[in-house]
Amino acid sequence: MNTVSDEMRNTIIRKAGELFSRYGYRKTTMDDIADALQKGKSSIYYYFQNKEDIFRAVIEKEAMEAKSALQKSMEREPTPKDKLRVYLLERTKEFMQKANYYQALHSDYLTNLPFVEHLREKYDKDEVQVIRQILDEGVKFEQFDVDDTYSTALIIVNTLKGLEIFFILDKLDIAEYSVHLNRLTDILLYGITKR
């Protein structure tokens, strides 16, 4: 593709992302996207096969942006403990700002889209890998005493998922949720045993 084609494709992704964020995947139509772009639907079909194809592009873009921002946040931290704390606190904030990606990871309705289950599996696998790398670094520098970093990372990811359900059901704002994440991080780093 040339630069003009890339620009148009990115414009479609951006505009469609705004509509999906506002109205949800189900309620947003190709007509809505065409109207927002002030283009005919045929010009959108030149770049994307259907609404699902556009939505996939939107959430892939958001996922890449969120992961990049998280990576940058962790790179600024000097120790594995700090990296783990920043990762746990920033991941939810980052993904909540990426409304479509967050919706794809958490909406039961979107499970019907074939690529969403694959996305969820990839997200979980990537997240376990990131946390495992932090744990491995902590073990290497003798900051963590973890004998199986993979299993520990898996447990942390599943704990975070459970906490997210609590966050969604109780409709907590990010400040309230951060309090819970800080407590979880303290438990992970320091345990609950009195020393």
Domain membership of residue 85 (yes or no) is yes
Distance CA 57, CA 73 (A): 24
- What is the average pLDDT across 99-125? 68
Assess whether 155 and 100 both reside in one domain. Answer: yes
Q: Is the pLDDT of residue 105 over 70?
A: no
Q: What is the pLDDT of residue 25?
A: 84
Assess whether 88 and 42 both reside in one domain. Answer: no
Most trustworthy range by pLDDT among 51-55, 119-123, 179-183, 190-194: 51-55
Q: For 144, how many CA atoms within 13 A lie in the half-sphere containing its CB?
A: 25
Percent of the chain with pLDDT over 70: 84
Which residue range is the domain that position 181 belongs to? 56-190
Q: What is the pLDDT of residue 16?
A: 93
- What is the average pLDDT across 95-120? 65
Q: What is the pLDDT of residue 171?
A: 65
Q: Tell me how many domains the chain contains.
A: 2
Q: Is the pLDDT of residue 101 over 60?
A: no
Assess whether 79 and 43 both reside in one domain. Answer: no
Assess whether 15 and 97 both reside in one domain. Answer: no
Cβ 87 vs Cβ 134: under 8 Å: yes
What radius of gyration, in Å, describes the C-alpha atoms of the chain?
A: 19
CATH number, domain at 16? Answer: 1.10.10.60
What pTM was estimated for this model as a whole? 0.78
Cα 172 to the center of its chain, rounded Å: 18
Q: Is the pLDDT of residue 102 over 70?
A: no
CATH number, domain at 185? Answer: 1.10.357.10
Assess whether 18 and 108 both reside in one domain. Answer: no
Query: Which of residues 73 and 1 earns the better pLDDT score?
Result: 73
Residue by residue, what is the 3-state secondary structure of 82-93? HHHHHHHHHHHH
Query: Which of residues 120 and 126 earns the better pLDDT score?
Result: 126
Distance CA 8, CA 54 (A): 13
Assess whether 60 and 143 both reside in one domain. Answer: yes
Cβ 53 vs Cβ 145: under 8 Å: no
Assess whether 167 and 92 both reside in one domain. Answer: yes
